[in-house]
Amino acid sequence: MNKQQKEIMWYRNPAERWVEALPIGNGRLGGMVFGGVNKDVVQLNEETIWAGHYQDRNNYQSAQALPEIRRLLFAGETAKASELAQKAMVSNPKRFDSYQPLGDLTIQMTNTVEYSHYCRQLDLGNAVASVQFKDNQTNFKREYFSSAIDQVIAIRYECDKPDGLDLSVTLTRSQESVSQIFSEDTIGLVGQCGDNGVAFSGAVKIICENGTVVLNDRRRDGNEIIAFVEKADRVTFYIAANSNYRGMDHREECIQTVQKASEKGYHKVREDHIKDYRAYYDRFSIELSSGGQNEHDDGEVSTYEWLNQIREGKNDPAFAVLYMNYTRYLMISSSRPGCLPSNLQGIWNDQMWAPWESDFHTNVNLQANYWPVEAYHLSECHTPVFDWLETLVAPGSHTAKVCYDARGWVVHHASDIWGSTAIFFDIVGIWPMGAAWMCRHLYEHYLYNLDELFLREKAYPLIKGVVRFLLDFMVEAPEGTACPGSLVCNPSHSPENYFIAPDGSIGIFTYGATMDTEIIYDIGTICVEIIDILSIHQAGFDHSFKEEIMAALKKLPPVKISNRTGGIQEWAEDFEEYYPDHRHISQLYGVYPGKMITLNNSPELANAAKCTINRKYEHGYNGQGWSLSWIANVWARLLEPERAMEALQDIFQHHILHNLFINAHGNPQVGDAQGVPAAILEMLAQSHEDEIVLLPSLPKAWANGSVTGMKLRGGYTLDMFWENGLLTKATLYLSEVTIPMPIRVGSEGRYQTINNGSTLLVMRN
């Protein structure tokens, strides 16, 4: 498989729509490259450009109303409980504000050209987008990238005809901004997201070779200042953007940033960008092949043509490799140390009010965004999540007290950059498990890297606060309920499904939803394990808190198998689902990402989990790209490779957009795409059950292949090769601190493990 196949996305035409444009990003500064010839547009984003500001939206009636809401739910009076909760618990206003675009950089050829031999591409290996075309005998080339080293987007226009570039340049935004001249070769944009949102600036510095730049403040189209480039051979644009979110003088910061980049020069900026990017990207590689003759074997088919072949039913392992590399590129481009986490759309958004506010959705989406990051060998890209979680502790503690009269801290099903932790949108927002689910990512980071300082100083304080909240929040179910004497969440619901109560009423609000129990078991168990680890060097560390957790875990209700469906029961009571085809598989959290339900320790529940998914399909499963990837991960954990492959193929055929963003309910999203590589990695190696299993769920379509640089829990790094479905060789590199774990191979055959000191070799006999 050559570079053209696995690392180059390319198209024969300019993008006409946003979902055809190609993303570039440096963690916080993003662009969408349309690649037009006579009119070239790069839509721009900076991660902190959000409307709104922090507001205490907590409903101060909540804690007082909570005992009555709980009484009603335990009594089965769902409608009355929902009505009271809607009034007394849901925030006002019900929504927070949206992530917004910076604006559009528009570069127009003032002399229209007729072009041929057009190619627009994104080089995933170097993180550089480019456009090439011809006009008669003149060759034109353009490059675009976003540098983390120099904190600029750099764009380079070249042609081989002397004095061949005549351009007009504008930086514009549809609202709440003013175009300005920053200097003799720099145009800018200054604005604010509404009355209380961030104030921001963007700057474009234009450097010509053998040409001139003229900024014209008199020739305006509305509020636009136009820069004219005349008779240039080459033109370089340096774009910077900043806001006052982090307290800086954003206008001056932009001016200084583009000035420094221009003094450094395009070629050095480009060289440093690629070197920095490849330091992340080159850690990992993957090859997949069926061994057949019908695979994508050359670079003559464009990415869109290739995607259409996939949509028509072609199962091509090479496309999965391209998609893996693309999602790695998106992760590195949207989540760097020191930045905010990648949101629902990464850092790329062209709408003033984005779908779902382009927020941090914590009832699966943000988590799925980071599922593969550790195995991908991109641990640093995980750190923005941890930094962001720390900013939520203070507002989350306030919400815990106001809404539940509880200690610790809480986050509900969605949040933003302002630390919004209240109950938003509707009673569907009364789901106080977001922080608990997110905090398992802290422990995952530890398990892959074994950094005890991180565990002690960052992970444990956050996890302890979440567990403290849950211990205060849970209540004992009374006699007459489905689980008398058990500790349950009340109120509770199973995101985002509805049920039919015995009286025929439709509800979402209840007590003891299975997912809540699984999350509490998961994070409680994690907390106990951390206490045990930290106790090694500090005897008796937090012993009383450990005892309190263990006592509570013993009182959790068991996960049940539904007598009605044979699947995992979704609620404490065996309700009928209002949407049996519902996209969420909330009750299967215990299979993935948790490990409460496995084929080894709970085979009956594992088989019931299979039944749960089968039943959804039988009812015409309402799958979206992200939900199918969750299902693929579950199938991988349950050692059903062909079912996992079926889910992935469904995503590729029905939920991938022109530029390979994922389609979610008719809207493009970026973060949700990361569930796909998570599933692929889970199919190739697993390490969640205190053992390493190689090729546990290898489908027939990937009979031959290799993976190098894959991280595993316990401090291992894996290089692995296989042929005809059988492992040929695996090398596991040991870190300075490694947890000893048994190794076995899921594929048939006899293998031996050789310890070479710093490595473990697994060879076929």
Give 321's strand partners: none
- Other C-beta atoms closer than 10 Å to the C-beta of 380 total 15
Residue pointed to by tokens 């992935």: 648
**Which pLDDT score, from 0 to 100, does residue 503 have?**
87
Q: Which amino acid is at 26?
A: N
Q: pLDDT tens for residues 164-181?
A: 999 999 999 988 899 999
**Which pLDDT score, from 0 to 100, does residue 648 have?**
96
Query: How far apart are alpha carbons 159 and 37 in whole angstroms?
Result: 13
pLDDT of 299 > 90? The answer is no
pLDDT of 714 > 70? The answer is yes
pLDDT of 686 > 60? The answer is yes
Strand 39-46 vs strand 29-33: parallel, antiparallel, or unpaired?
antiparallel
Class of domain 62-92+359-622: mainly alpha
pTM score, two decimals? 0.96
156 contacts 238 by C-beta, under 8 angstroms: no
Q: pLDDT tens for residues 482-514?
A: 999 999 999 999 998 999 998 899 999 999 999
- Other C-beta atoms closer than 10 Å to the C-beta of 118 total 16
Residue pointed to by tokens 């956050």: 462
Query: How far apart are alpha carbons 610 and 638 in whole angstroms?
Result: 8
User: Containing H/E element for 240?
Assistant: strand 234-243
> Picking from 51-55, 230-234, 509-513, which range would have the lowest pLDDT averaged per residue?
51-55
pLDDT of 293 > 60? The answer is no
Angle between helices 625-637 and 603-618 (to 10 degrees): 150
pLDDT band, very low/low/confident/very high, at 1 (cuts 50, 70, 90): low
Q: Which amino acid is at 465?
A: G
pLDDT band, very low/low/confident/very high, at 294 (cuts 50, 70, 90): low
Whole-angstrom Cα Rg for the chain: 27
Query: How far apart are alpha carbons 681 and 632 in whole angstroms?
Result: 11
CATH (residue range 3-50+102-281): 2.70.98.50
Count Cα neighbours of 581 within 13 Å in the Cβ-side half-sphere: 8
Query: How far apart are alpha carbons 589 and 668 in whole angstroms?
Result: 25
Q: Is 557 helix (H, G, I), strand (E, B) or coil?
A: coil
Q: pLDDT tens for residues 251-264?
A: 999 999 999 999 99
- Per-residue tokens: 419: 């630390």
Give 668's strand partners: 663
Q: Which amino acid is at 458?
A: K
pLDDT of 238 > 70? The answer is yes
Mean pLDDT on 641-647: 97
pLDDT of 673 > 50? The answer is yes
**Which pLDDT score, from 0 to 100, does residue 425 have?**
86
DSSP string, 130-189: EEEEEETTEEEEEEEEEETTTTEEEEEEEESSTT-EEEEEEEE-SSSEEEEEEETTEEEE
Query: How far apart are alpha carbons 593 and 262 in whole angstroms?
Result: 46
Q: pLDDT tens for residues 393-417?
A: 999 999 999 999 999 999 999 999 9
**Which pLDDT score, from 0 to 100, does residue 220 have?**
46
Q: Which amino acid is at 464?
A: K
Q: pLDDT tens for residues 313-357?
A: 999 999 999 999 999 999 999 999 999 999 999 999 999 999 999
Q: What are the structural domain ranges in the chain?
A: 3-50+102-281, 62-92+359-622
Provide the mean pLDDT of the chain.
Answer: 94
Query: How far apart are alpha carbons 378 and 342 in whole angstroms?
Result: 14
**Which pLDDT score, from 0 to 100, does residue 687 have?**
98
50 contacts 418 by C-beta, under 8 angstroms: yes
In 3D space, the residue among 353, 388, 332, 280 whose CA is nearest the CA of residue 711 turns out to be 280
DSSP string, 19-71: GGSEEEESSSEEEEE---SSEEEEEEEETT-BS--------TTHHHHHHHHHH
Mean pLDDT on 350-377: 95
Whole-Å CA distances, 541 to 191, 409, 547, 688, 739: 51, 21, 11, 25, 21
Residue pointed to by tokens 């870190």: 735
Examine residue 14 and say whether the peptide bond preceding it is cis (omega within 30 degrees of 0).
no
Whole-Å CA distances, 188 to 41, 151, 183, 593: 16, 16, 9, 45
Query: How far apart are alpha carbons 291 and 728 in whole angstroms?
Result: 15
DSSP string, 482-543: SSTT-EE-SSB--TT--EE-TTS-EES-BS--HHHHHHHHHHHHHHHHHHHHHHTTSTTTTH
527 contacts 117 by C-beta, under 8 angstroms: no
